[in-house]
Amino acid sequence: MPDDTRPDAIVPMKVNAFAHVQSANSQLATMFPYLHAGAIVLCTSQFETTPENPVGYFIHENSVDEVGLILGSNGRGRVGDVWRGPNQHGVGFSAPHPYVSAVVITQRQQESGEQKEAVEFQCEQCAEPLARYEFASDSAENADVPALPTIAGSHKAALLIETEEQRTCKACGHVNSAFPLPVWGWGNYVKNTRIANVAFKALKDAVG
């Protein structure tokens, strides 16, 4: 029987995934406003990469499974392909030709307990870690408009390799390329989440 006390049991919703991609402000943009424990979280992800403008690469770890569905692709992924990735997996890639894809990523949040995640950037030359940021599922939930921890945590991780000094590998001395943070839009998501929370608080204050 459905649990009618859960937020996602109250209002059935549907979203056209391609229309959502059109207006998404970041990679891995949530399609529905349900992020609570046990929620099935669907996100769109869209890539456009060329040899001259790669999207970058990092390692993501998640204690829950992620399932991907390719909605459309003109390159390495086939339309309609579905996969379940390992809990530690690479994100991003380079391509020898222009490449576009639109994907839906789905995960189910843990019912209880700490849901751990991590983002790690590695040296292009020797694969030694440059920076690693670990976070948990409850790290962004204490808000009227909560953020998906994966997006907020990825943004914080990327800020750890902003400078040339931070991108210089301590193991081999290689100076790694700057990560193209604007391409991922995580900063937009974090900023817009902050705006939404401040505005929502103003609304609550106005109505008493």
Q: Is residue 191 part of a domain?
A: yes
* Tens digit of each residue's pLDDT (9 = 90 or more) over 111-167: 888 899 999 999 999 999 999 999 987 655 568 898 999 999 999 999 999 999 999
* Tens digit of each residue's pLDDT (9 = 90 or more) over 38-72: 889 999 999 888 888 889 999 999 999 999 999 99
CB contact at 8 A, 81 and 37:
no
**Overall number of domains in the chain:** 1
**Alpha carbon distance 188, 145 (integer Å):** 15
Backbone angles phi, psi at 18, to 5 degrees: -70, -40
Q: Is residue 135 part of a domain?
A: yes
Which residue range is the domain that position 79 belongs to?
7-207
Tokens linked to 86: 């390992």
Q: Is residue 1 part of a domain?
A: no
What pTM, to 2 d.p., does this model score? 0.87
Q: Is residue 2 part of a domain?
A: no
